Chains A and B, each alone.
Chain A
Amino acid sequence: MVSNEEVSSIIDAYPRDRRYALAVMQDMQRTFNYVPENGLIATAEHLDCSVAQLYSMATFYKALSLKPKGKHIIKVCDGTACHLRGANNLVTGVKRELGIVPGEVTADGEFSLELVNCLGSCALAPVLVIDGVYHNKVKIDAIPSILKEHATPVVTQ
């Protein structure tokens, strides 16, 4: 759970104007990995709009989520080119490694998986993006090492 203080520290930085609704929610998404319910309620109060309006926006934009996403976000492109070049295989590969399907988060909260539309790198299909880093012409065998690259390093004493 995100505390009300953490929520206020984000919201208070914005002027009380409804046009900042999306910006506030994006900010919360970045900071908390999701838009928490107390965050929506506090934002509605700050911007003098209804929770319903914000909820409508939050469920409309794919960039916002109402449930916590993983620390690292895996995006598998499923645009036309990537789809034809085996985006499905990448999804299978990730599932084999982490046991999650698109829309899910690993139990330890490390990774979440998303299917996205064309990322504009069709010539390099199939494309997989983790935390903004593009991996091109990905083969299913390469997935374990790619994931390892991005995972939070385990500290051993």
Chain B
Amino acid sequence: MSTAKTLSLTIDGTPCTCESGEYLYDVAKRNGILIPVLCRSDAFEDHRACCRVCIVEVEIKGRRKVVTACVYPVEQECAVYTNSEKIVEERAIVLALLAKRAPESAEIVAMARYYKAPELDRLVELDGGRCILCGRCVQACESLGTGAISTINRGTEKEVSTPYHNPSLACVGCLSCANVCPTGAIPFIQAPSTRSIWGRDFEVLSCERCGAPMGTREEIAYAAKKAGMETPVICDACRKHEIADSMMGTYRLV
């Protein structure tokens, strides 16, 4: 077993330590320095590093380079600058471009404003654009094992969709994709007892005991099947109560 080497570095002048190979973004976060990210989610282990908003400058032996912090493994001592003049300017451009792609996304527009993104008047905005094609939704759906959506086509035609743009039979209506989307790009409708997403309508079941909503019929059945359990009819909270009650009963008997 090799024990990872401990390294020291500075981030914006703050001395930090990390293990060799740790991603710069994680090191910074642990030390209270927040680097903006969009496509990176702590929910996944592999990061696609496609949005570029997490760029920072890394200086090693007097040489500086721009890297994406979310996937940059720290392997030697270095000085990191998350807000150098160059980074501030480049990050603003990255966000300006993303804002052209996703002008309908409140999150992106707010971020672009916050980081003082230039207007870039000569570029047109993508009509109705919300998605930045980061692929987080696809990753979420794949990691669940449902695999209802994917990125389709390429170049300017690329988009996230179900096969043939049809209502997906694989979808269980769990909303993982919509929840993990950093830009609010996936439309869905949530009513008290129904839910619609990706062209399908789902029934939302409620706990037979307390009446709290538990999720779609398909989602509950899918999760239970994956865990090798019976499909539950009462919610987690009620089940815990039930277990506690039966334990109490047992102890009273003793």
| Contacts from A to B (Cβ < 8 Å) | 37, 40, 49-56, 59-60, 66
Contacts and interface: CB of A to CB of B under 8 A. Distances in A.
Contacts of A49: 147
Interface of B: 138, 141-142, 146-154, 162-164, 168, 170
A52 B170 contact: yes
Q: Which 3 A-B pairs have the closest CB atoms?
A: A50-B147, A56-B150, A55-B163
Contacts, number: 40
Contacts of A66: 164
A50 B153 contact: no
A40 B164 CA distance: 11
A37 B164 contact: yes
A55 B142 CA distance: 14
Given A51-B163, A52-B170, A60 B154 contact: yes
Contacts of A50: 142, 146-148, 150, 170
Given A51-B163, A51-B170, A52-B168, A60 B147 contact: no
Contacts of B141: 52
A96 to B, nearest CB: 28
A52 B148 contact: yes
Nearest to B168: A52
Contacts of B142: 50, 53
30 contacts: A37-B164, A40-B163, A49-B147, A50-B142, A50-B148, A50-B150, A50-B170, A51-B147, A51-B170, A52-B141, A52-B147, A52-B148, A52-B149, A52-B150, A52-B163, A52-B168, A52-B170, A53-B142, A53-B147, A53-B150, A54-B163, A55-B150, A55-B152, A56-B151, A56-B152, A59-B152, A59-B153, A59-B154, A60-B152, A60-B154
Contacts of A54: 163
Nearest to B153: A59
Contacts of A60: 152-154
A52 B151 CA distance: 8
Given A55-B163, A59-B153, 16 more contacts: A40-B163, A50-B147, A50-B148, A51-B147, A52-B147, A52-B149, A52-B162, A52-B163, A52-B170, A53-B142, A54-B163, A55-B150, A56-B150, A59-B154, A60-B153, A66-B164
